[in-house]
Amino acid sequence: MTDLKALVEARLAKGPLPAAEAMALALYHPEFGYYRRAAGPWGFEGADYYTALDLGPLLGEALAARLERAWERLGRPDPFVVLEPGAGRGWLGRDLLAAARGPFGASLRYLHRDDNPAAAAAARIALAPYLESGRARIGAQQEPLEPFRGAILSNELFDALPAQPYRWDGERWSFEALTAQGQAWLPADPCEAVDWFTSQAEGGLEAGDGAPWCEDLPGRVRDLAGCLEAGLFITIDYGHTASRVLDKGSDLRRYKGHKVDG
């Protein structure tokens, strides 16, 4: 039995485990979470997923051009701070700093934040010349932020936050959970999530309607945006067409070895 499995079984002994709580344990437990492993999950062979950053510097170059325009519109602030929460290996910051030249490049200061020790270690290598020159800094994920002018960037961050699936069965709302007997949909009490889903159903609800609800997302965005005096907040993610996303039962996805396995 793995240590994480033992934790889950101990929790199940107290009652059903909501999917969001199970996701938080699996991904972010300080010792056993997927994103806390010594070996990061990124890359090709032997890994589970790759991002645009594994394919080349184009994303960083495109963002550098966009941020330079914002810098001009803001009156060329110096420093122009770029904060990246959940920054992983620091490759986006590396590519961004490499592409930013001239007066804009001289004013750019990149702040890497990620509470995965493996990510921070990899970022120290990727960002080494910029750390030495003072153009980049690695900060703790929970480090208090001073107000700044510049940009907040995130790449495939918010979709990895724990989320709770809800579903309308035609008569009532239910939420996905893990029980001692396995996966189950249990009756949901009135809450912000079901109120919001109901309010958005202009044509009425149909059996099977629903989606994952990330309770922590608004607060995280507010905390980050509250430090941005002026500038851009850019979050990047990848998905399907609206019709695919809205398919009945199409909610959370799990990847292993570059394949969907649940």
**If pLDDT is split at 50, 70 and 90, which confidence band does 1 have?**
very low
Residue 56 has pLDDT above 50, yes or no: yes
HEC states along 43-56?
CCCCCCECCHHHCC
- Say which residues have a Cβ less than 8 Å from residue 261's Cβ, sequence separation at least 6: 254, 255
**pLDDT number for residue 261:** 64
| Tokens, residue 177 | 């959970």
Residues 141 and 169 in one domain: no
| Tokens, residue 107 | 């004013």
Q: What is the DSSP string of 64-110?
A: HHHHHHHHHHTT--SSEEEEEET-TTSHHHHHHHHH--HHHHHHEEE
In a domain, 261, yes or no: no
Residues 72 and 141 in one domain: yes
| Tokens, residue 187 | 């009756």
Q: Provide the 3-class DSSP secondary structure of residue 253.
A: coil
Residue 260 has pLDDT above 90, yes or no: no
Instruction: Dump pLDDT digits (tens) for 213-242.
Output: 999 999 999 999 999 999 999 999 876 665
**pLDDT number for residue 166:** 93
Instruction: Dump pLDDT digits (tens) for 5-34.
Output: 888 888 898 999 999 999 999 888 888 888
**pLDDT number for residue 259:** 67
- Domain of residue 133 covers 52-160+217-245
Residues 99 and 180 in one domain: no
Instruction: Dump pLDDT digits (tens) for 100-132.
Output: 999 999 999 999 999 888 888 999 999 999 999
Q: How far apart are CA 31 and CA 25, in angstroms?
A: 10
In a domain, 170, yes or no: yes
CATH number of the domain encompassing residue 118:
3.40.50.12710
Instruction: Dump pLDDT digits (tens) for 148-205.
Output: 999 999 998 888 899 999 999 888 999 999 998 999 999 999 899 989 888 887 778 8
In a domain, 8, yes or no: yes
Please report the sign of the dihedral spanned by the C-alpha atoms of residue 71, residue 77, residue 79, residue 82: negative
In a domain, 87, yes or no: yes
Residue 262 has pLDDT above 60, yes or no: no
Instruction: Dump pLDDT digits (tens) for 63-106.
Output: 999 999 999 999 999 999 999 999 989 999 999 999 999 999 99
Residue 257 has pLDDT above 80, yes or no: no
How many CB atoms sit inside 10 A of residue 44's CB? 9
Q: How far apart are CA 222 and CA 121, in angstroms?
A: 28
Count of domains for the chain: 2
Residues 68 and 144 in one domain: yes
- Say which residues have a Cβ less than 8 Å from residue 28's Cβ, sequence separation at least 6: 35, 36, 162
Identify the DSSP state of 48. Answer: S
Q: How far apart are CA 130 and CA 92, in angstroms?
A: 13
Buried b or exposed e, range 168-177, using 16+ CB within 10 angstroms:
beeeebbbbb
In a domain, 174, yes or no: yes
Amino acid, single-letter form, for residue 135: R
**pLDDT number for residue 68:** 98
In this predicted model, which residue has the larger pLDDT, 45 or 199? 199
Q: What is the DSSP string of 164-223?
A: EEEEE-SS-EEEEEEETTEEEEEEPPS-HHHHHHHHH-TT---TT-EEEE-TTHHHHHHH
CB 252 within 8 A of CB 212: yes
CB 66 within 8 A of CB 28: no
**pLDDT number for residue 42:** 63
